[in-house]
Amino acid sequence: MPEQHANPPYDALLLLSFGGPEGPDDVVPFLRNVTRGRGIPEERLKEVGQHYFLFGGVSPINDQNRALLDALRKDFAEHGVDLPVYWGNRNWAPYLTDTLREMAADGRRRIVTLATSAYASYSGCRQYREDLAGALATLAAEGIEPPRVDKLRHYFNHPGFVRPMARSVLASLADLPEDVRAGAHLAFTTHSIPDAAADTSGPAEAHGEGGAYVAQHLDVARLIVDIVREETGVEHPWRLVYQSRSGAPHIPWLEPDICDHLEELHGAGVPAVVMAPIGFVSDHMEVLYDLDTEATAKAAELGLPVRRSATVGADPRFAAAVRDLVLERAATERGEPAERCALGALGPSHDLCPVGCCPARAPKPAAAGADSPYA
């Protein structure tokens, strides 16, 4: 029998994501949406668009979100969670404002939101909250009573997010030639952001070198290394590295870049590398281009065996984690005790972002976490 849960105070879940083009004619208009207000020349947009055209002008992110929607609906139905699931994007159809308008027309009054970005940063968290606020203000201006919307806490260290990634790293290690497997280096990758944005990520008490953004990724990397060691008996060397930098070259961004790191490892005689994109929820364009295309080509040039592990995507364990987060938040809203699952040293994140959390700094980062012209 399915588990029965009292779902109030929420009557819908909103999957909130970045969006991406679904055909060649969408690419430049999509990039205009992403970079609106930043003064990016049209020529630069067309240059970036070439990355999409390598894949037929289609970002995989929308299909991956559809798969996640299916996984969430299946999990909810199997566990008696009677909560309809909607989907809205920041930069492409289905647009967030349109989805909230639809939800309001359907009578949804209390909405809980999952953003497809697991970590603290301006673009990965606060900007999504600003998107929600702007969309709700648009509804109010149209004479539509806006629903209340709550965003789920960061889930970077939830077991349902960490363990699928660890299994993927183990699978990538097993796929390496046996003679280089034990000496393989683990390169945990995430989106580079400006140093200033990283330093001010998370609540004020986390501000400092790297801020919550770096600390959270390091915690996840250590957790995966520990799981790999427990499974294999091997302590693999590892490092947190970065990818997908964009923006003015004179502004410091988090380093080292994955391609530079591969060169460094090759020079040090490392026999093989597993690239683990822990900063990404799904295998969208940044993973396909920056890792599977650019970084893999760099490794081939160096003669360095490399594998890229999978992201969580629509893994059933991740869908179960979302259900857990929804029920946890619903219990908290009802004033009931709730188990807050989290692995590692940092513990569960806050439900409500404090004032000053992940402030926007000039210049705003062009991308962070799931947020990029390459999503």
* 191 labeled binding residue: yes
What is the average per-residue pLDDT within 5-15?
80
Q: What is the pTM of this model?
A: 0.94
Sheet harboring 85-89: ordered strands across? 85-89, 12-17, 110-115, 148-151
> What are the residues facing 86 on neighbouring strands?
14
Q: How far apart are CA 38 and CA 44, in angstroms?
A: 12
Contact between residue 3 and residue 79 where contact means Cβ atoms under 8 Å apart? yes
Instruction: Answer whether the bond into residue 363 is a cis peptide, omega within 30°.
Output: yes
pLDDT at 371 exceeding the cut of 50: no
pLDDT of residue 369: 34
Q: Is residue 3 pLDDT above 60, yes or no?
A: no
pLDDT tens for 111-141 read 999 999 999 999 999 999 999 999 999 999 9
Contact 37, 130 (CB under 8 A): no
**Mind listing the pLDDT tens digit for each residue in 243-276?**
999 878 899 999 999 999 999 999 999 999 999 9
| pLDDT score of 225 | 98
Residue type, 184: A
pLDDT at 370: 36
**Above pLDDT 70, what percent of the chain?**
94
| pLDDT confidence tier of residue 44, bands split at 50, 70 and 90 | confident
Query: Which of residues 8 and 330 earns the better pLDDT score?
Result: 330
Mean pLDDT of all residues belonging to the chain: 93
Which amino acid, one-letter code, is at 252? P
Pairing verdict, β 85-89 and 12-17: parallel
At 361 the pLDDT is 63
Residues contacting 104, CB < 8 A, separation 6+ = 139, 144, 145, 146, 147
Cβ–Cβ < 8 Å for 189, 243:
yes
Domain 12-154+314-333 CATH class label: alpha beta
Res 6: pLDDT: 44
Which is higher by pLDDT, 313 or 48? 313
**What is the mean predicted confidence (pLDDT) over 89-115?**
98
Choose which CATH entry (3.40.50.720, 3.40.50.1400, 3.20.20.140, 3.40.50.150) describes domain 159-308.
3.40.50.1400
Provide the pLDDT for residue 362: 44
Q: Is the peptide bond between 177 and the residue preceding it cis, with omega within 30 degrees of 0?
A: no
Mean pLDDT score, 197-201: 96
363 pLDDT band (50/70/90 cuts)? Answer: very low
Residues whose CB is less than 8 angstroms from the CB of residue 169 and which lie 6 or more positions away in sequence, other chains included: 186, 224, 228, 274, 276, 309
Q: Residue 367: which pLDDT band, with cuts at 50, 70 and 90?
A: very low
Spell out where the chain has E strands.
Answer: 12-17, 85-89, 110-115, 148-151, 185-191, 238-243, 273-276, 306-308
DSSP 170-191: HHHHHHS-HHHHTTPEEEEEEE
CA atoms of 226 and 158, how far apart (whole Å): 15
In the predicted model, is pLDDT for residue 41 greater than 50? yes
Q: How many CB atoms lie within 10 A of CB 42?
A: 10
- Tell me if domain 12-154+314-333 and domain 159-308 are identical in fold: yes
Arithmetic mean of pLDDT, 335-360: 94
The answer to the question of whether 286 is labelled as a binding residue is: yes
Q: Average pLDDT in the 72-92 region?
A: 97
When pLDDT is cut at 50, 70 and 90, the band that residue 8 belongs to is low
Q: Where are the domains of the chain?
A: 12-154+314-333, 159-308
Backbone angles phi, psi at 322, to 5 degrees: -65, -45
Is 10 annotated as ligand-binding? no
